[in-house]
Amino acid sequence: MKLFVFCLSLVISMPLFAQSKKELQAQVTKLNAEIAELKKPKDILLSDTVKKASYGLGVLVATNLRSQGGDSLDVDALTFAIRDVYENKKLKLEQSEAMTIVQQYMQQAVEKKNSKLKASSQVFLNENKTKEGVKTTASGLQYKVVKSGTGKVPKATDNVTVHYTGKLTDGTVFDSSVERGQPVTFGVSEVIPGWTEALQLMHEGDKWMLYIPQELGYGERGAGAQIPPYATLVFEVELIKVN
């Protein structure tokens, strides 16, 4: 009899247990959705000058940090530090300690970034030198003849007039006299070493593709915001005239 009563009570309670479990799952699902919503970054409305200036400063600082290799920084920790300073809270790192840590981090970040840039440039040159028509000089300069001319060959002391388009290895154009519609005149020795070498191998009327290793270009400095450090440069150059 006791066994019968127990079984009967179990049968009666099972729907209630199932219902309770279903409700619990629904609550968990709802809670997870609320947590996910809270984790989403809130948008900021630039409704006044202070907000615009604050956001603008954030853009400048973040852009500068990323360009210097600090693209792996923890944005949440960075935000907390700014808030702690502005709200006069006890800092988790004092300024002297923070300075040492940041200097070490940024130095390592820059070295890591430069190492990747060097490797990427070298991979491009290694693959490019095997392509049909590409020749490599003793200095490492690579070139390919697109069109042959029969005119004069410039010396290091000459001025030349050229048309050119300069690109990074990913195809990004950073300078082009062709796009401006106006050829450029300059001294053969007044440009980067890769150009100086190539021009003295060309004839008037030649059009060449130049693949300039970073050692013959802008090296570790790069050039402005458009040419990063250790960049291999790709130029299409037409030698119009030796002056």
* Cα–Cα distance for residue pair 206/235, rounded to 1 Å: 13
Beta bridge partners of 24: none
Residue among 8, 14, 234 nearest 127 (CA): 234
- Choose, from 164, 212, 230, 240, the residue flagged as catalytic: 164
Query: Would you call 174 a catalytic residue per the annotation?
Result: yes
Task: Please give the Cα distance from 96 to 100 (Å, whole number).
Answer: 7
143 is known as an active-site residue: no
Catalytic residue among 84, 158, 174, 186: 174
Please indicate whether residue 240 is annotated as part of the active site. Answer: no
Find out whether 149 and 163 touch, Cβ atoms under 8 Å. Answer: no
Closest listed residue to residue 195, CA positions, set 149, 224, 238: 238
Catalytic residue among 105, 158, 175, 186: 175
- 43 is known as an active-site residue: no
Q: Which position among 124, 211, 230, 235 bears the catalytic label?
A: 235
Active site residue 235: yes
- Assigned token pair, 1: 């009899």
Q: List all residues 6 or more positions away from 162 whose beta carbon is below 8 Å from its beta carbon.
A: 177, 183, 184, 185, 199, 237, 238, 239, 240
Name the active-site residue from 124, 211, 218, 230. Answer: 218
The reply to whether 105 belongs to the active site is no
Six-digit token pair at 6?
């127990």
Catalytic residue numbers, as ranges: 164, 174-175, 192, 218, 235
